[in-house]
Structure 1
Amino acid sequence: MHFRYLGNSGLKISEITYGNWLTHGSQLENEQATACVHAALDAGISTFDTADVYANTKAETVLGEALQGQRRESLEIFTKVFGPTGPKGHNDVGLSRKHIMESATASLRRLQTDYIDLYQAHRYDYETPLEETMQAFADLVRQGKVLYVGVSEWTAQQLRDGAALAKDLGFQLISNQPQYSALWRVIEADVVPTSRELGISQVVWSPIAQGVLTGKYVPGQALPEGSRATDDKGGADMISRWLRDDVLERVQQLKPLAADAGLSMAALAVAWVLQNDNVATAIIGASRPEQVHDNVAAAGVTLPAELLSKIDEVLDPVIERDPARTEDSSPKTREV
């Protein structure tokens, strides 16, 4: 495993992060989820990402149990706050001081830890003053419950505003967690340059585009049984936008490129996002331990410029690049 600094901080994290969105507490039984976490640990992964909203808090509980017995100081545990949790009442969502403080306390309990290494605003809250949100994060840092603060899917201007307030309040905003893959490059035009300027790293999710970049979805063929595309607990909804013949046909053309590089399709996809020097880590998910080992093969890989150009050439007609898609990811009003 290789390690990178997270933003302009002294915190090092593993290049590959194990994440449990759409798996723990949902797709997987607890025993299988624990096996995947242990496979990640065995592979040298030290960084684990979750969120209170995943499986309505169950994912945090499963991760906390799976990590019991590990040396806490050797781990970096990330979680997030924003989405509706619990009974999804009128204050069970957003980035108000009330929701942030209550959610942090609940996440610590579920994760069975005294502190969160990186606490992230899961989306931007248009209905709460940014000053209130950042003050709550600052207080959690001073209380020792949170060591570092990050965000997820914020626009370049939102990052700029948040970083300025954080500085005024005596802490740093060190990370942003966006979707990023060879197919989804919306952060490249604005978010990445602004992040470099501000000392913010990307902690990227969906580097294999919900599994599409593995090449297992073939145009004209039935969806693989047990795959995310057949999951009725949320997975199928997330992957549906990629299951177009034009996308799948292009992805199939990457297979010989991966073979020439000596990588699986999944490892090629993960290695691709890690070529961006503003990316600190790529979050992988897994439903089986062997998937963890496959993805970890991307750590430390340098893809030659010629290969990167060939990937661009193959995928260019189906790549999403519109920077406005980042703003679209945060709801303009709270869901409840």
Structure 2
Amino acid sequence: MEYRNLGQSGLKVSQLSYGAWVSFGNQLDVKEAKSLLQCCRDHGVNFFDNAEVYANGRAEEIMGQAFRELGWKRSDLVVSTKIFWGGSGPNDKGLSRKHIVEGTKASLKRLEMEYVDVIYCHRSDSSTPIEETVRAMNYVIDQGWALYWGTSEWSAQQITEAWGVAQRLDLVGPIVEQPEYNLLSRHKVESEFLPLYSNYGIGLTTWSPLASGVLTGKYNSGNIPPDSRFSLENYKNLASRSLVEDVLKKVNGLKPIAEELGVPLSQLAIAWCAANPNVSSVITGATKESQIKENMKAIDVIPLLTPSVMEKIEAVVQSKPKRPDSYR
């Protein structure tokens, strides 16, 4: 496993990481979580991602209990969580100072930790001034509840505004953004965010490298496997949006490239994300140890992605965003 700096910070995160979205609390409990987390550690993963909204907080409880029972040294782990959707009350969601402070304390209690390494603003909040959010995130850091802060699914304009506030007030700006990034979803990472990497040293921890499993090819038969994400009631709308003819045609077109390299399509898709130098860590998900072992082998595929292979991939997906002239 290679460890990369999270943006321009000194924090080192494993090139591939593990996220608790969907799985912990919805499909897995503590016993299964422990075996999956141990499998991740055996493969060199040190970065584990969570959020207050995952399984309504249960995902954090499961991860915290699993870590405690496994008895791992806290300094060996990089743990993140995300604040935005904390409950049904009017002040239980968003990025007000009140919810950031209360939500962070509640997350730490569920995780059974004194601090998280990274805390994200899980979405942007149009009803709260960005200055209030930036000040609140700095308060969280000053209290020692988090070491760094970042954003998830913010626009480049919003991140730039947050940095403007931080610089004006001599505060800490967001060091990381967590966007969706895969062969089918590329605009933010490869176009919109380009100025952020050099201007602010923003790192990326990207999610959904397999486009919720679409890029494994397992849905191309037209059937939804009963143990897959798209079989879950909450994800049936996502399935109907994702499993369209054009997408499945592209997935079929990628299969010969993977076969030529002698690797599964899933490993090719994950390696493709990790090969982007602006990506600090690719967050993977899994409900079985076998999936983790398979995903982790993507590390060995990265060196196989020569310029000619990347051109073949692009010829199939044709998803590369056009860069604005000013960024060239």
Using structure 1 for the length normalisation, give the TM-score.
0.90
Task: In structure 2, give the amino acid aligned to 1:279.
Answer: V
Residue 254 in structure 1 maps to residue 254 in structure 2: yes
Query: 1:78-98: per-residue Cα shift (whole Å, max 9, x none)?
Result: 100012x23x11111000000
Q: CA deviation at 1:320?
A: 8.4
**C-alpha distance in 1 between matches for 2:205 and 2:51:** 14
2:307 to 291, 296, 305: 305
Residue aligning to 1:287: 287
Residues 128, 320 of structure 1: alpha-carbon distance in 2 compared, 3 angstrom cutoff: farther
Structure 1: 5+ residue stretches without partners: 324-336
Query: 1:276-333: per-residue Cα shift (whole Å, max 9, x none)?
Result: 11110100000101111111112262311111111111112xx48599xxxxxxxxxx
Task: In structure 2, give the amino acid aligned to 1:310.
Answer: K
Residues 240, 31 of structure 1: alpha-carbon distance in 2 compared, 3 angstrom cutoff: farther
The correspondence of residues 208-227 of structure 1 with structure 2, limited to 5 A, is 208-219=210-221, 221-227=222-228
Q: CA deviation at 1:197?
A: 2.4
The correspondence of residues 131-150 of structure 1 with structure 2, limited to 5 A, is 131-150=131-150
SS of 1:24's equivalent? coil
Task: In structure 2, give the amino acid aligned to 1:23.
Answer: S
2:192 to 190, 211, 229: 190
Residues 35, 235 of structure 1: alpha-carbon distance in 2 compared, 3 angstrom cutoff: farther
Residue aligning to 1:92: 92
Structure 2: 5+ residue stretches without partners: 324-328
**C-alpha distance in 2 between matches for 1:89 and 1:269:** 40
Residue aligning to 2:326: none
Aligned residues: 317
> Contact between 2:150 and 2:175, CA under 8 Å: does it hold in 1?
yes
Moved runs in structure 1, 4+ residues, more than 6 A?
none
> Contact between 1:27 and 1:231, CA under 8 Å: does it hold in 2?
no
Greater CA deviation, 67-76 or 221-230?
221-230
Using structure 2 for the length normalisation, give the TM-score.
0.92
Residue aligning to 1:153: 153
Q: CA deviation at 1:191?
A: 1.5
Give the CA RMSD over aligned residues. Answer: 1.7
Residue aligning to 1:328: none
Higher relative contact order by CA 8 Å / sep ≥ 6: 1 or 2?
Answer: 1
SS of 2:259's equivalent? helix
**C-alpha distance in 2 between matches for 1:239 and 1:195:** 33
Q: CA deviation at 1:198?
A: 1.4
